[in-house]
Amino acid sequence: MYKNLIVLAISFCSCFNTVFADSFSKLRVYQADNPQTIIYETSDNADIAAVLNGVSIRFEQWEATQVLSEQAQQQEVIAAYQADVDQLVQENGYTYIDVARMAPNSPKKAELRQKFLREHYHTEDEVRFFVEGFGLFYLHINDNVYIVRCEAGDLISIPANYRHWFDMSQAPYFTAIRFFLNKDGWIGHFTGSDIAASFIQD
């Protein structure tokens, strides 16, 4: 039923850096022209969801407790969460599912980090179910930048045409199931803006 594309990296270790100092889902909001001043911050999941819902972003906590082996390929990851995948497909008609998996020692980590750090948008919603680790979405909405730290269990859906970038950190550690309507999967349109550089600290 699903066409599967990528497993980015496999070998894991327990050490990784974080932009936020802890390991909870978190939201920070800034003015887009002032990356030095936090104007709102919360680590309360209900508050995160409420604020993001206010700008039409879906953010929910699902259960992500399946143990995945270091060698797990994407078919195994999808199979471990088949019921959740099926539910989302039934809800929204996704036709293409893949898995992005990164480890801190991935030889491609610097290259891939830079790719997703550039501001871009998609012509369909960006839908991710994090089942391991964490990643940071930076959402440039009107005059604000919302930084969302997604943890295992978080489901996020960013509407089409929202400008954003994604930071997997210098020592990436995450597994995310990705859902697409387009059979070609991830297609990003880069804006050419350098705004991301003013928010990324390392």
Return residues touching Fe ion (CB under 5 A): 126
Closest distance to Fe ion from the beta carbon of 93 (Å): 20
Residue closer to Fe ion (CB basis): 138 or 173: 138
The answer to whether 163 and 177 are in contact (CB under 8 A) is no
d(CA 162, CA 126): 9
Residue closer to Fe ion (CB basis): 126 or 167: 126
Residue closer to Fe ion (CB basis): 12 or 135: 135
Closest distance to Fe ion from the beta carbon of 32 (Å): 17
d(CA 33, CA 21): 24
Helix (H, G, I), strand (E, B) or coil at 164: strand
Residue closer to Fe ion (CB basis): 84 or 126: 126
Helix (H, G, I), strand (E, B) or coil at 176: strand
Nearest to 78 by CA among 61, 91, 92, 96: 96
Residue closer to Fe ion (CB basis): 29 or 100: 100
CA contacts within 13 A on the Cβ side of 96: 13
Closest distance to Fe ion from the beta carbon of 146 (Å): 14
Q: Which two tokens stand for residue 100?
A: 């992005």
CA angle 175, 192, 38 (to 5 degrees): 65
Closest distance to Fe ion from the beta carbon of 120 (Å): 6
Residue closer to Fe ion (CB basis): 153 or 185: 185
Nearest residue to Fe ion on Cβ basis: 126
Nearest to 100 by CA among 132, 68, 125, 124: 132
Closest distance to Fe ion from the beta carbon of 104 (Å): 22
Closest distance to Fe ion from the beta carbon of 129 (Å): 15
